[in-house]
Structure 1
Amino acid sequence: MALVGLFSAKDREFGSKLDVLAAAVEAQGGRVVSRHIQRRGVSSGGVDRMGSPLSRRTLLSPGKAGEVADACRSAGVDVVVFANPLTEHQRAVLNDVFDCLVISGGDLGTVHG
């Protein structure tokens, strides 16, 4: 499985949040093979976009979505677990982009954001 999370630049706990998510995956019998983080507001351009809405389709930039998709294909990942809540539409789009099942941490009984 791969873990993916969108975190604000102000969120200094993103690493520990992914650790908790990884523990939940492992408690369900899964094995985490990669972690992917999209930070928002880290660069000066990102700070300018902090007030803009998130991508309704993927929560990720096109570049990060492509990076995650390539990594998942290379590693043979069959499930991607997002640290963020996802709508059904986002799940469907991400399933197509990543070519595998996409779920959120909430599906594992964990709460992230």
Structure 2
Amino acid sequence: MTSAATALVARGARVVAQFVQRRGVSGGGVRKMSLPYSSRTLLSYGKVREVAQACDQANADAVVFVAALTGRQQRALAGMLGCPAVSLSDVLAAD
């Protein structure tokens, strides 16, 4: 994530927060370890809320995911986060 943030800053972005989806930390997370991540968002609902709150507080223009996102995931996340959700690879390819 550090190299991703560095690459974004080099392109003029302002990185205001970094989030990691962790599983297996809480009792509920341990029970879900064998389940796949949400194909709709790649994140748990709680993590989406956490990121959305940070976006709102920072007045973020976009959220960049290190993982590749499908078009469906981008649309779902944009609606939930209140700003565009893009893949790091898409940002880097835009140069």
Tell me the TM-score normalised to structure 2 length: 0.87
1:12 equivalent in structure 2: none
* Aligned residues of 1:82 and 1:103 also touching (Cα < 8 A): yes
- Between Structure 1 and Structure 2, how many residues are aligned? 93
Q: Which amino acid aligns with 2:47?
A: K
Could you list the runs of 5+ residues in structure 1 that have no partner in the other structure? 1-17
Question: Hey, what does 1:40 align to over in structure 2?
Answer: 23
How many angstroms apart in 1 are the aligned matches of 2:25 and 2:67? 18
Matching residue's letter, 2:58: A
Whether the aligned pair in 1 keeps the contact of 2:37 and 2:44 (CA below 8 Å) is no
Give me the TM-score of the superposition, normalised by structure 1: 0.74
RMSD: 1.6
Task: Work out whether 1:71 is the aligned partner of 2:54.
Answer: yes
C-alpha distance after superposition, 1:29-57 (max 9, x if no partner) = 11101111111233344233222111011
Higher relative contact order structure (alpha carbons within 8 Å, sequence separation ≥ 6): 1
Q: In 1, distance between residues paired with 2:61 and 2:27?
A: 35
Give the unaligned 5+ runs of structure 2: none
Query: Which structure dedicates a bigger proportion of its chain to strand?
Result: 1
